[in-house]
Amino acid sequence: MKFNFVDFFNRQKTQDYFKKIIKHLTNSKNITPAKKHIFFAMKNFDFDNLKVIIIGQDPYPGKDVADGLCFSSNEQKTPASLMNIFKEIKNSYPKCSFKSNNLYYWKDQGVLLLNSILTNEIGKTLAHKNIGWEIFTLNLLSELNQTYSQIIYLVLGNYAKNFIKNLDLNNQIIFSTSHPSPLGVHAGFSGSKIFEKINKKLQELNKIPIDWSTQ
């Protein structure tokens, strides 16, 4: 494997910014997702099969909703943003089925579902902004960009657009639209056929397209 997340993580945890993250988490209550899921997006991910990176903001603030993958959830009730994602997929793939709200199947196919901020607090939004996670995720993405080319980035909303401005993306492929939240869905996301466009690009690159269903 060209990129090894464990090696990357071991290098990060010795740095001052990461020690500050750990200190902040130690002093925080009601952290979401559960600590065992904080790095789930990268756990056992086959980086040599990395096809798509979806950039999220921070974990869902509801109790037991976030599972470590951006937009994904183990809850039976579908979060509003994910509901709009499913609707947009259906626009392109009417036969696509969504048997659950977790996006593990996407991860298995080479989709890295990465929040720029990996933790939050229940009932809050951006509670852990600027505690250091942005440095961690930018370092991660920078190393991935140095290791692989022709990664497809799906950038949803202004927050994600501003976040990736700090990256060298000259050798990557960018798809961008509005955020799928109820506030942003009609500003470009709805009707964008964005998931179909990603699959067409993957086919052009002689890569297997993503089955956007869930299991």
DSSP track, 53-122: EEEE-S---STTTB-SSTT-B-SSSPPHHHHHHHHHHHHH-TT--BS-S--HHHHHTTEEEEESS--EET
Phi and psi, residue 125, nearest 5°? -120, 135
pLDDT score recorded for residue 135? 98
pLDDT score recorded for residue 5? 98
Task: State the sign of the Cα–Cα–Cα–Cα dihedral 93, 101, 110, 149.
Answer: positive
Kindly indicate whether the domain formed by 5-204 is annotated with CATH number 1.10.357.10: no
Range 108-125 average pLDDT = 97
Q: How confident is the model at residue 32 (pLDDT cuts 50, 70, 90)?
A: very high
Angle at 91 between CA 87 and CA 96, to 5 degrees: 75
pTM listed for this prediction:
0.97
Lookup: tokens for 101: 């709200």
CA 160 to CA 148: how far, in whole Å? 20
52-56 and 31-32: which strand pairing? unpaired
Annotated domain spans of the chain: 5-204
58 is catalytic: yes
User: What amino acid occupies position 169?
Assistant: L
Given 7, 46, 48, 58, which residue is catalytic? 58
Say if residues 84 and 182 touch (Cβ distance below 8 Å).
yes
Angle at 106 between CA 103 and CA 110, to 5 degrees: 140
Q: How confident is the model at residue 76 (pLDDT cuts 50, 70, 90)?
A: very high
